[in-house]
């Protein structure tokens, strides 16, 4: 109490005789400071003195009642004893009791009566202080409970959102939305790859924007730099996924960028970059929540990438690493529907290695495998990124050429045929010379035609090239007219 060892009491309008009795009864533990009638202690005096008890005469109280409540409200917080002098009736007494006095006593005040009142008042105040202390503790515990409840609600919601999808892009979209309640998030970008692969990695880059532009390229370069930090030169190829999670383009800013390395079971499988529009100010609880959120995000993305890898492996030919027949059958249906809807041309090319059985019988199946892998690389290097390649059968390869006319398809097929003919195929049995026959067909916009019919025409053109001497290109037009061109019989 401001360095005082004694507790302080106030007297308002009390007589000197009453003040002496009260002070004598209080002993050395209390001090009494008196104010004459008409003088009201101020708020500053209350905060300085911190009186534990207020002795007030009836005349002093009557004077206080004439003042505005704003001038006397601060006195109501202190325990008050009313010294009731003069005549009064029962109604007046009841009215005074409702004014919040701890006790009302009649003069003359005796030492014993003053001591009893003082001890009772102090006990009441101590009880009040205990109750206030308990109330503050309850409020603090309630606040902590509400904060923990908010933390739990966030984590439960975040966990639900990032684990209900097996598409990494959907998980990142959900994470961006949820993290905005914790951080000033502007955009989330990421690069991910299969957790089971650490060399010759094929990664997918997830950009918050909706199109390829300078901003997307800036994020792409930054993500590749982070991937290189984790893998060295392990990333050999990337796919792009434009998520469209931002309305305005946001460039990377290192000052407000949070980089999260994705690691599970001791293996890195990507990096998430959280861009904020201001520097985040995180308390201890928020840091704890963020760590939990990152853990859940990592788990969700890990499961999604494993699922994506499993899907990819189910669609990929193990030898050539091209798409397999299962994937091709689904893709040609999609492409046929899309190209017919917009009236675009679509061509199918089927290439078959000539005399492949003789290669296997003469040089062994390992040499045959080398030829298949080498030919798949020729196709990949000769085609556009928009073209689609699949291993159609044992030694057959199918190529879908979107938005490609019949004339351009035949020119491309002939060029590939020549490349195969002139290529030296390196095998475990030495250099081999190989040729291929190619059949081409294009969709017919004059009438409805199923993908099976397109495949059937391309296959018929291929067999016509075979029957005409092999090492040739043939196209079968929708009107059943046939063009065969190419090299010589092998």
The string of pLDDT tens digits covering residues 400-431 is 999 999 999 999 999 999 999 999 999 999 99
The string of pLDDT tens digits covering residues 257-267 is 999 999 988 88
- Which of 73, 92, 91, 74 minimizes the C-alpha distance to 82? 92
The single-letter DSSP state of residue 316 is B
Strand order, beta sheet including 472-476: 388-391, 396-402, 346-353, 436-442, 472-476, 482-486
Q: Which residue in this structure is represented by tokens 């092998």?
A: 490
Most confident of 10-14, 122-126, 288-292, 306-310: 10-14
The string of pLDDT tens digits covering residues 57-100 is 888 888 888 888 888 888 877 788 898 877 777 777 777 777 87
Q: How many helices (H) and strands (E) does the chain have?
A: 14, 18
CA atoms within 13 A on the CB side of 286: 10
Q: pLDDT averaged over the chain?
A: 87
Gyration radius (Cα) of the chain, Å? 44
Q: How confident is the model at residue 489 (pLDDT cuts 50, 70, 90)?
A: very low
Structure pTM?
Answer: 0.54
> At residue 400, what are phi and psi to the nearest 5 degrees?
-95, 130
**Cα separation, 400 vs 388, whole angstroms:** 5
Q: Does the pLDDT of residue 481 top 70, yes or no?
A: no
pLDDT for 307:
87
| Burial class of residue 263 (count of CB atoms within 10 Å of its CB; 0-12, 13-18, 19+) | middle
Residue by residue, DSSP assigns 127-194 as HHHHHHHHHHHHHHHHHHHHHHHHHHHHHHHHHHHHHS-S-HHHHHHHHHHHHTTTS-EEEEEEEE--
Whether 146 is a known active-site residue: answer no
- Are 472 and 437 spatial neighbours (Cβ–Cβ below 8 Å)? yes
- Are 31 and 2 spatial neighbours (Cβ–Cβ below 8 Å)? no
Q: How confident is the model at residue 152 (pLDDT cuts 50, 70, 90)?
A: confident
More confident residue, 149 or 344: 344
Q: Does the pLDDT of residue 340 top 50, yes or no?
A: yes
The 3-class secondary structure across 384-397, one letter per residue, is: CCCCEEEECCCCEE
- Which of 422, 168, 211, 200 minimizes the C-alpha distance to 308? 168
Q: Does the pLDDT of residue 488 top 70, yes or no?
A: no
- Active-site position among 178, 335, 395, 396: 395
Residue by residue, DSSP assigns 416-434 as HHHHHHH-EEEETTEEEE-
pLDDT for 485:
57
**Cα separation, 461 vs 481, whole angstroms:** 10
Across the range 470-485, mean pLDDT stands at: 78
Across the range 269-290, mean pLDDT stands at: 86
The string of pLDDT tens digits covering residues 298-309 is 999 999 998 888
């Amino acid at each position: 109490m401001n360095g005082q060892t004694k507790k302080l009491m106030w007297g308002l309008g009390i007589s000197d005789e009453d003040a002496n009795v009260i002070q004598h009864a209080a002993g050395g533990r209390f001090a009494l400071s008196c104010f004459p009638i008409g003088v009201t202690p101020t708020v500053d005096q209350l905060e300085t003195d911190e009186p534990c008890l207020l002795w007030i005469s009836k005349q002093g109280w009557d004077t206080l009642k004439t003042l505005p409540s704003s001038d006397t409200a601060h006195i109501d917080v202190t325990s008050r004893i009313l010294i009731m002098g003069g005549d009064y009736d029962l109604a007046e007494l009841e009215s005074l009791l409702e004014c919040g006095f701890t006790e009302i006593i009649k003069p003359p005040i005796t030492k014993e009566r003053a001591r009893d009142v003082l001890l009772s008042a102090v006990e009441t105040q101590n009880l009040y202080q205990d109750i206030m202390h308990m109330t503050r503790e309850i409020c603090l515990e309630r606040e902590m409970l509400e904060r923990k409840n908010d933390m739990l609600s966030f984590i439960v919601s975040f966990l639900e959102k990032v684990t209900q999808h097996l598409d990494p892009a959907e998980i990142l979209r959900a994470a961006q939305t949820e993290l905005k309640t914790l951080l000033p998030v502007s955009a989330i970008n990421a690069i991910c790859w299969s957790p089971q692969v650490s060399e010759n990695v094929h990664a997918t880059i997830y950009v918050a924007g909706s199109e390829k532009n300078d901003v997307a390229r800036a994020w792409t370069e930054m993500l590749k730099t982070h991937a290189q930090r984790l893998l060295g030169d392990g990333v050999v190829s990337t796919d792009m996924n434009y998520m469209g999670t931002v309305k305005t383009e946001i460039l990377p800013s290192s000052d407000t960028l949070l980089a999260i390395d994705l690691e599970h079971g001791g293996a890195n499988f990507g990096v998430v970059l959280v861009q904020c529009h201001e520097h985040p100010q995180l308390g201890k609880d928020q840091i704890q929540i963020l760590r939990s959120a990152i853990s859940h995000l990592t788990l969700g993305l890990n499961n999604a990438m494993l699922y994506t890898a499993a899907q990819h492996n189910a669609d990929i030919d193990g030898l050539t690493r091209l798409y397999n027949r299962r994937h091709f059958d689904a893709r040609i249906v999609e492409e046929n529907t899309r190209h017919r809807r917009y009236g675009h041309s679509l061509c199918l090319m089927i290439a078959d290695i000539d005399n492949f059985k003789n290669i296997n019988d003469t040089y062994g199946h390992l040499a045959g495998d080398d030829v298949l892998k080498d030919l798949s690389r020729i196709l990949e290097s000769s085609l556009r990124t928009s073209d689609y390649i699949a291993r159609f059968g044992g030694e057959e390869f199918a190529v879908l050429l979107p938005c490609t006319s019949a004339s351009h398809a035949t020119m491309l097929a002939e060029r590939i045929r020549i490349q195969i003919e002139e290529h030296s195929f390196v095998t475990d049995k030495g250099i081999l010379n190989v040729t291929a026959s190619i059949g081409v067909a294009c969709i017919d916009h004059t009438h409805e035609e199923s993908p099976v019919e397109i495949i059937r025409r391309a296959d018929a053109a291929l067999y016509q090239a075979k029957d005409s001497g092999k090492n040739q290109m043939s196209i079968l037009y929708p009107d059943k007219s046939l063009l065969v061109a190419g090299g010589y019989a092998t």
